[in-house]
Amino acid sequence: MGGKPCIRGIRVTVGNIVGLIASGYSNSDILKAYPYLEEADIYEALAYAAWRVEEIEVPLQNA
């Protein structure tokens, strides 16, 4: 998936799940569209996205 974070190694990206939720899809809508996902996967995707936006990237200095 081009290095994008995925759900449990399944070819569904965190961005895909977060985007669906942002578009107004409910958890049950998502689970119907992706029957191999579990509700916990949706919450894990949200938790990962929340953690990622709070992460601070510090550039490395050349020695």
Q: What is the pTM of this model?
A: 0.79
pLDDT tens readout for residues 18-62 = 999 999 999 999 999 999 999 999 999 999 999 988 877 778 887
Are the C-beta atoms of 12 and 37 separated by less than 8 Å?
Answer: yes
Domain ranges of the chain: 14-53
| Secondary structure (3-state) at 9 | coil
